[in-house]
Amino acid sequence: MIRQPRRRFFVLGFLVSVGLACGPGGRGPLQEPDPRVSLAASCGARVTAEGVSERLFELSPVLGGRDARAEDVLSALRAVESALRKVPFGLCHCAGLKELIIVHGLWARGQDIGGIALHRGDTIILSAASRGSERLERTFHHEFFHLLDFAYDPFDPERYTDPEWTALNPDGFAYGAGREGLVYMPLDPADEDRAIAGFASRYGTWKLSEDKAEVFALLVSKPWLAAERAREDAVLARKLALLVTRLEATCPGVPGIADLGRFP
């Protein structure tokens, strides 16, 4: 029998709480940890950071990745901590996130990607390779929304066409035009905040699901930019409003969702 490498699971809330509550060497408190940064507290999620190759294959045979260095795992967890501070407390539980996998390099069908959300297993996988904290946050928010989007109405036969959402698009627009056949669209970091009429980013023009995820990522990662662009882009403004309305329907009772749509 071949002995498989041991997989180590960490409770994110514990890691973050210890990191914030203790100074160097654990010699005393620095500040009380914010409970919103704790996946364990908000939805009981665990973090997988070792034996990731085997874990990815268990989830999907088309996925691949390698174990990240300890310092890269810590940096990624800090980025997730920051990302969770920007969403209303309770959304994580509503999304049903159960596992966060941190890898060094992530590929799907041989193509490098920055992250992916898997509805089966309620899992988010993030690549920590050569990615700054801001991009990791943005990627986490993007993938996080895919789980929320699925939770909105998983049995709706129109969820993959979403006429209500697509009716907001500019006349004559078609997702993925000129990029047919791509399994995953390469993401240029320079495109993340580039204004494209009706969309949060160029990446959002590829697929309906990516359009919605990019609108959410823009809204929670950079609300000031979302507000600025919404004032000049009526289509994007309507998408932002519809997204907030759906979040309220998906996660009733979660405070602070309506505030996402109240721009200064």
Low-confidence winner among 31-35, 55-59, 191-195, 208-212 (lowest mean pLDDT): 31-35
pLDDT greater than 80 at residue 141: yes
Highest-confidence range of 9-23, 38-52, 120-134, by mean pLDDT? 120-134
For residue 136, is it within any domain?
yes
Residue 160 lies in a domain: yes
Question: Could you tell me if 14 and 127 lie in one domain?
Answer: yes
- Domain assignment present for residue 264? The answer is yes
Q: Which residues of 21-56 are buried (b: 16+ CB within 10 A; e: fewer)?
A: eeeeeeeeeeeebeebbbbbbbbbbbbbbbebeebb
| 164 in the same domain as 123 | no
Q: Please check whether residues 210 and 148 belong to one and the same domain.
A: no
Residue 225 falls inside a structural domain: yes
140 and 105 belong to one structural domain: yes
Q: Is the domain of 106 the same as that of 233?
A: no
Q: Which domain, by its residues, includes 189?
A: 154-178+185-264
Do 216 and 247 lie in a common domain? Answer: yes
160, 172: one domain: yes
Residues 127 and 204 in one domain: no
Asked whether residue 1 is assigned to any structural domain, the reply reads no
Whether 135 and 165 share a structural domain: no
As for how many domains the chain has, the answer is 2
Task: Please tell me whether residues 34 and 144 are part of one structural domain.
Answer: yes
Structure tokens at 140: 């986490």
pLDDT for 66 beyond 90: yes
User: Does residue 2 form part of some domain?
Assistant: no
pLDDT in the model for residue 16: 39
14 and 140 part of one domain: yes
Residues 147 and 170 in one domain: no
pTM score, two decimals?
0.82
Residue 207 lies in a domain: yes
76 within a domain of the structure (yes/no): yes
Among 5-14, 41-50, 180-189, the range of highest mean pLDDT: 41-50
Quick one: average pLDDT of 214-241? Answer: 95
